[in-house]
């Protein structure tokens, strides 16, 4: 089991290194987070500096799986929390989504973000798919037991990943127009992570790694957005249709002719 876990961690490290390498190549001539127009679509350059924080967070979580000192820190933190007998509040099941809901609510209220409804929905959905692609396989490969002993799907924290991907999504949408508004989603993300430990569902290292995966997922979603947008637009162009009204047997109707 330790061999399988170690091989999985080595693979994950290599993936992260390759992501950082590709991102660094994309930003050799552009050290800023710019958007340029290519074939009528916005192309985003991923600044490798944006990947430092998530890489550090994920790296901490990975090291903690094998490092005795960090394992002890997980245990001592849990013991300290349990000494105070905190109430187990399940709001973390909902706070993970609040930053994303705030983005849609603010846009509805007239405080526009960077993207339209369609575009930001594509971006957010992509970030959640990427997050799930990281989190779900790792849970089943690592098989770390939860603090409460309920199962072996502790590492990394999926709730925290969702929360921080949502907070990073809000940050990206509003950072250019209102910085203080853009960071207002992070307190909900931190709350979610803290209560995953208070509720005895995750170790501290699970939460830290989950935060890293969440931020990374959103950064990758913005990088992939123009490619996905172009793919969806090309497909839409290939579908042509015509709505034809008709009158027959003393009744009106509408017919649809569609070519694929």
**Residue 27 predicted with pLDDT over 90:** no
Q: Comparing 126 with 28, which gets the higher pLDDT?
A: 126
Q: How far out from the chain centre does Cα 191 lie?
A: 17
Residue 120, pLDDT above cutoff 50: yes
What share of the chain in percent tops pLDDT 90? Answer: 65
Q: Hunting for tokens 């901490």 — which residue is that?
A: 60
- Between CA 21 and CA 124 the distance in angstroms is 24
CB-based contacts of 8, cutoff 8 Å, min separation 6: 138, 141, 142
pLDDT digits (tens, 9 = 90+) for 30-58: 433 445 444 444 456 667 788 899 999 99
Q: Estimate to the nearest angstrom the gap between the alpha carbon of 160 and the chain centroid.
A: 10
Q: pTM of the predicted model, to two decimals?
A: 0.79
**Once rounded to an integer, what is the mean pLDDT over residues 76-105?**
94
CA distances from 211 to 12, 32, 135 (A): 16, 24, 11
Q: Can you give the three-state secondary structure of 205-225, one letter per residue?
A: HHHHHHHHHHHHHHHHHHHHH
Q: pLDDT tens, 150-200?
A: 999 999 999 999 999 999 999 999 999 999 999 999 999 999 999 999 999
Q: Is the pLDDT of residue 258 over 50?
A: yes
pLDDT number for residue 82? 92
Query: What confidence category does residue 231 fall into, taking pLDDT thresholds of 50, 70 and 90?
Result: confident
Distance CA 260, CA 179 (A): 45
Which tokens hold the place of 156? 């990394």
DSSP conformational letter for 14: H
Q: What percent of the chain has pLDDT over 70?
A: 72
């Amino acid at each position: 089991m330790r061999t399988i876990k170690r091989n999985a961690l080595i693979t994950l490290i290599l993936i992260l290194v390759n992501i950082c390498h590709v991102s660094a190549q994309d930003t050799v001539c552009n050290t800023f987070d710019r958007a340029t127009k290519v074939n009528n679509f916005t192309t985003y350059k991923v600044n490798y500096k944006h990947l430092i924080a998530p890489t550090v967070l994920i790296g901490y979580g990975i090291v903690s799986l094998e490092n005795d000192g960090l394992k002890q820190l997980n245990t001592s933190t849990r013991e300290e929390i349990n000494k105070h007998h905190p109430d187990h509040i399940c709001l973390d099941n909902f706070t993970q989504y609040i930053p994303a809901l705030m983005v849609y609510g603010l846009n509805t209220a007239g405080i526009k973000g960077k993207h339209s409804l369609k575009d930001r929905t594509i971006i957010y959905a992509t970030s959640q798919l990427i997050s799930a692609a990281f989190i779900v396989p790792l849970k089943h490969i690592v098989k770390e037991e939860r603090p409460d002993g309920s199962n072996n799907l502790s590492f990394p924290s999926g709730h925290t990943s969702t929360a921080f991907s949502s907070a990073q999504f809000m940050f990206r949408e509003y950072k250019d127009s209102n910085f203080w508004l853009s960071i207002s989603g992070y307190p909900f993300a931190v709350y979610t992570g803290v209560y995953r430990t208070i509720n005895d569902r995750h170790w501290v290292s699970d939460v830290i790694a989950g935060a890293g995966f969440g931020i990374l997922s959103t950064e990758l979603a913005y990088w992939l957005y123009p490619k996905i947008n172009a793919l969806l637009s090309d497909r839409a162009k290939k579908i042509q249709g015509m709505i034809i009204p008709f009158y027959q047997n003393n009744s009106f109707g509408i017919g649809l002719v569609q070519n694929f």
